[in-house]
Structure 1
Amino acid sequence: MNRIHWVPLFIAALLAGGCVSTGTYEKKVEEARLLDNTVKALESEYAGLLKQKEGLVLEKKDLTQNLTAALQQSADLQQDLVSARADTDRLERVLSTRSQEAGQAMAEMRQNIDRLEGDNRRLQQQITDLASQVEKERVARETRVAEVKSTYDELGSKMESEITRGEITISDLQGRLTVNMVERILFDSGRADVKPAGLEVLRRVGEILGGVKEKEIRVEGHSDNIPISTRLAQTFPSNWELSTARATNVVHFLQEKVGIPGERLSACGFSEFRPVADNATSEGRAQNRRIQIVLVPIEERVEAPPTK
């Protein structure tokens, strides 16, 4: 803004009138000077106000932009808050569900623990019972072994002469006592009836073996590989029939004459198919023609199938 320098003009006007005294003039000059200073101050203040206005306009613009940004940020934060609340609600539902599931799982786990503890107690009891049973079986087995050994010793003592002549052999393998009797002491060649001398031997053997408890007495008939002669073929078509008939007759004698219960006896024939010696020699064939009386544990007995 261009300022008009009116003070000199005012002074000049006063001088031109010629009616102003010196004192008045000086007073007016001073007033004009003060007024000019006031105007200058006002102009300076006005310029400052204009500059301040420009600054305020810029500041307002910045504030407006900041306000717009703040409002947008507030809107974004509000949206985030809504999303956060939704997530919180969802998480609370998930946590509630998981808490229920965890509670149910804990309850099931406690039930399983209780069941396992019960199973463990039963298992411990079974182990205790089994250990007791094993101990009883061990004692019983040792008793049976001792009984078999005693029977073995008794047979060896009472059948000493037959053993010495090679007519009888006795073996004890893992508690299975076997009395092996060659053919000549019991039977004539090709016959199944026990000879009188053989009956006496069978009686002594049967009385000893019959005293052994919890054992089955199995009588096995064996032959050599020489076919049955034509003369005997009608009675014994093969060595199967001959070996089985001999074993059966021995069982009959042990049951009927010695008094051994029938449920403890069994008979079987093996023909020539379980030799103990070489059938190529007469000595070997003589050893293969034999009766074996075997003490078998009761648990090995073959039970007959139930009748329908």
Structure 2
Amino acid sequence: MRVTLRFITISLIIAIFASGCVSRSAFQRKSDEAEHYATLSSNLEQDYAKLMEQQKQLALRYDELGQQLETSRNTAVTLRQDNLRAKADIARLEKILANRSAETGQAMTELRQDIDRLQEEKRHLNSQLEQEHLARQARIAQLKTTYDDLVDKLESEIKRGEVTISDLQGRLTVNMVEKILFDSGKADIKPAGLNILKRIGTILKNTADKSIRVEGHTDNVPISPRLKDIYRSNWELSTARAGSVVHFLQDRLGISGERLSVCGFGPYMPIASNATAQGRAQNRRIQIVLVPQQTQTLE
């Protein structure tokens, strides 16, 4: 377009010169106007080209913004869906939290009740323990008194080794060898033995909170043939001797039968070796054991 305008301008100038009817000043003026229009035309062409380029860039930008808008719309839809799901989750969690809060409140109430109950039980147990401790101290003191009384009353027999007294774990035991109570192979108490049992029984009668267990023991020498008709074995002999002691304590000293028990162990609980005469003599014995009334089982 620029070339065409310039060509037209030159053609006009030539035509004017050819006609010879235009003055030089007019010609110059027309020539300047033509040059001006040519320059103006060139500028317009440049502006047009720029506008076309801008239009192209705007079209590209328009397409780009359209894609961004579509992406934003899709994102908005996704966000709305996420928001709805989040609200639903929040509502569900709030419901769960409310239920848990109610359950926790109930659990705390029950826990406080349990704590109060346990504290009350603790106070009760502490009171019981204190009472049991005092009672135990009293029993120990009484047992010591009984022990001291027995030692005092049986001093001579203890010195001769015929009687021993022990106090192990709250169980007082009076151990008497056979010879001071019975003749060999017999279950009848000798007069000297009755005297010893009277002294022992008089003291034990005052221990009303204790049971009295009488145990009979023998050595491992079998019953002689002449005694087989009376005592089948040492079991029967040991039991008969313990029974004689129990009857004396009940019948002669008035100790309640509810406090008394009889045990015959025969040769099966020796305290010494049966290989020697001295050991066998120690194993032939009567033991009187004081035990708490509520536990009369053997241990």
Give the TM-score of the pair, scaled to structure 2. 0.89
Query: 1: distance between equivalents of 2:297 and 2:156?
Result: 35
Match of 2:183 in 1: 188
> Secondary structure at 2:266's aligned position in 1?
coil
Superposition pairs of residues 96-245 of structure 1, within 5 angstroms: 96-245=91-240
Match of 1:10 in 2: 16
Match 1:63 to one of 33, 48, 58: 58
| Contact 1:167–1:181 under 8 Å retained in 2 | yes
- Write the letter of the residue equivalent to 1:231: R
| Contact 1:181–1:292 under 8 Å retained in 2 | yes
> Secondary structure at 1:300's aligned position in 2?
coil
Match 1:257 to one of 247, 252, 256: 252
Aligned length: 292
Shift of 1:12: 4.5
| Contact 1:167–1:185 under 8 Å retained in 2 | yes
Moved more, 218-227 or 49-58: 49-58
CA RMSD of aligned residues (A): 2.1
Change beyond 3 A, Cα 1:280–1:14: closer
Moved more, 83-92 or 122-131: 122-131
Moved more, 53-62 or 189-198: 189-198
Shift of 1:210: 1.8
Match of 1:281 in 2: 276
- Write the letter of the residue equivalent to 1:210: K
Deviations 1:41-88 (A, max 9, x none): 223222221221111111111100100010010000110111111111
Shift of 1:286: 1.7
Superposition pairs of residues 83-94 of structure 1, within 5 angstroms: 83-94=78-89
Shift of 1:226: 0.9
Deviations 1:22-53 (A, max 9, x none): xxx64xx5444333333332232222212211
Match of 1:73 in 2: 68
| Contact 1:7–1:33 under 8 Å retained in 2 | no
- Write the letter of the residue equivalent to 1:129: H
Query: 2: distance between equivalents of 1:264 and 1:39?
Result: 154
Shift of 1:202: 1.8
Match of 2:32 in 1: 37
Percent sequence identity over matched residues? 46
Point out where structure 2 has 5 or more consecutive residues left out of the alignment. none
Query: 2: distance between equivalents of 1:8 and 1:153?
Result: 166
